[in-house]
Amino acid sequence: MFADRAKIFIKSGKGGDGHVSFRRELYVPAGGPDGGDGGKGGDIIFQVDDGLKNGEPGGKKRCHGANGKDLVIKVPEGTVIKEFESGKVIADMSGENRREIILKGGKGGLGNMHFATSTMQAPKYAQPGQESQELWVLLELKVIADVGLVGFPNVGKSTLLSRVSNARPKIANYHFTTLDPHLGVVDLDGDAGFVMADIPGLIEGASQGVGLGHDFLRHIERTRVLIHVVDAASTEGRDPIEDIRTINEELRAYNPELLRRPQIIAANKIDAVYDDASDPVTRIREAFEPEGIPVYPVSAVSGKGVKELLYGAYELLKNLNQKPVIFEREFDLQTIRTGSNLPFTVEQNEDGEYVVEGPRIEKMLGYTNLESEKGFVFFQNFLRDTGILEELENAGIQEGDTVRMYGLAFEYYK
């Protein structure tokens, strides 16, 4: 089954906690601290693998905890990674962008051996590992092709692709035969050629999602030239000129940039025109060639006119920028807070003090020596990294105001 869109939850590994231990050697009654550092948590680097592990805790004798294994999620080229809630682009796995770290694992915490000072030679606390990061992301595959075939259902796009390339889409005489995009390589004389995509048939309202419109329109966004295939013989009773106008309006409504790309009209099914008095190709030319859109009469079934159509598309491609369409980053990964952010509350009591409470805050104060320089720096970083300082400012705290945390009180200064 072809899947070109998926919502998934990703979470990096947590950093292992630093270890608290002391040397225990014969004839050394009071050995120094030798607690090792925790290992770094695994990254999400863009096969889902359940083997993502947290960084292991540090051990005794300065042993460093093992790092968690990175999780590599393999995706096809052309996949755009978006933040689910906002729809903003995180990364486009196309062109030269072959590998990207989306979520970083938490850093391992420092063991107690790092906190020994001349005044405190036996520190009994270690740094916890940084928490993991987590995010819901949307993966969207936007096919990479030079030329895209667009048009109403059942106008002959799949037949045309199968005639000119090695692609073999299923073909039958009913609507929405093609539910998935198909790619084919078109080989011309010499080294000339290009990649062509058969985009599933569009209908009126596609830009609003009618008839899986968004799912289909997504695959047009990377194409550099559009071949608009139309049923010139009106075998289903529709007016080909009106069909072209309708589809172009859907392209404009979805993304106005699409109509700025070169377009060719393939007036297909000329083998089915039996009325000698009717000349649908001339009508189409009179309507669109003044707008700079060339019209090629073709029969995808017999092959008549197909060669001229392909070389017409190739000439347009030669004069265009050869760089692929890449979607720029819109979402800043630095704004992602850790998925296990420390829960806390900030409230102002009757005395005007700002009271901050939370179970992990209480635990942190239990192992942090605020009288040491390193311990106090760690405490300051804790307040900043967990967002407590930000919440205090949001609550209106001013310099000189008192902050209280489980018996600890201090004045707030930036």
pLDDT in tens, 365-384: 776 777 777 777 878 888 88
Q: b/e string for 321-334 if b means 16 or more Cβ within 10 A?
A: eeebbebeeebebe
Q: Which of 297, 288, 210 is nearest to 250 (CA)?
A: 210
Say how far apart CA 398 and CA 98 lie, in whole Å: 48
What tokens does 303 get?
Answer: 């092959």
Q: What are phi and psi of 221, to 5 degrees?
A: -65, -25
374 contacts 114 by C-beta, under 8 angstroms: yes
Q: Which of 359, 335, 376 is nearest to 90 (CA)?
A: 335
366 contacts 375 by C-beta, under 8 angstroms: no
258 contacts 219 by C-beta, under 8 angstroms: no
Residue whose entry in the numeric block shows the structure tokens 């048939």: 201
CA-CA-CA-CA dihedral for 246, 250, 256, 262, to nearest 10 = -60
Do the strands 354-357 and 408-411 form a parallel or antiparallel pair, or are they unpaired? unpaired
Strands (DSSP E) along 29-120, which ranges? 79-83, 89-93
Say how far apart CA 162 and CA 182 lie, in whole Å: 10
Residue whose entry in the numeric block shows the structure tokens 């002391």: 22
**How does DSSP assign 336-350, residue by residue?**
PPBTTPPP-EEEE-T
184 contacts 198 by C-beta, under 8 angstroms: yes
Measured in residues, the chain has a length of: 414
**How does DSSP assign 372-409, residue by residue?**
SHHHHHHHHHHHHHTTHHHHHHHTT--TT-EEEETTEE
Q: How does pLDDT run along the chain (414 residues), one tens digit per residue?
A: 345 668 888 888 887 777 766 666 666 555 667 667 777 888 888 843 334 344 445 455 556 556 778 888 888 788 888 888 888 888 888 877 888 888 888 777 777 676 666 666 666 666 677 777 888 988 887 777 788 888 888 788 888 888 887 655 444 444 444 456 677 788 888 778 888 888 765 655 444 544 444 456 777 777 889 999 998 888 888 889 998 998 888 888 888 888 888 999 999 888 887 776 678 889 999 999 999 999 999 998 888 998 999 999 999 988 887 777 777 787 777 666 554 445 678 888 888 899 988 777 777 777 677 777 777 787 888 888 778 888 888 888 998 899 988 878 888 887
Strand order in the sheet with 134-141: 5-11, 134-141, 79-83, 89-93
Q: What are phi and psi of 263, to 5 degrees?
A: -130, 140
pLDDT of residue 276: 64
Say how far apart CA 276 and CA 387 lie, in whole Å: 77
> If 0-12 CB within 10 Å is exposed, 13-18 middle and 19+ buried, where does residue 400 land?
exposed
Q: Structure pTM?
A: 0.57
368: Cα within 13 Å, side-chain hemisphere: 21
DSSP β-bridge partners for residue 138: 7, 82
SS3 (DSSP) at 104: coil
Say how far apart CA 346 and CA 414 lie, in whole Å: 18
Q: Which of 150, 154, 178, 175 is nearest to 234 (CA)?
A: 154
Q: Around Cβ 300, how many Cβ atoms within 10 Å?
A: 26
126 contacts 21 by C-beta, under 8 angstroms: no
pLDDT of residue 264: 94
Say how far apart CA 32 and CA 118 lie, in whole Å: 12
SS3 (DSSP) at 109: coil
pLDDT digits (tens, 9 = 90+) for 325-376: 777 787 777 666 554 445 678 888 888 899 988 777 777 777 677 777 777 7
Q: Which of 66, 62, 35, 36 is nearest to 53 (CA)?
A: 66
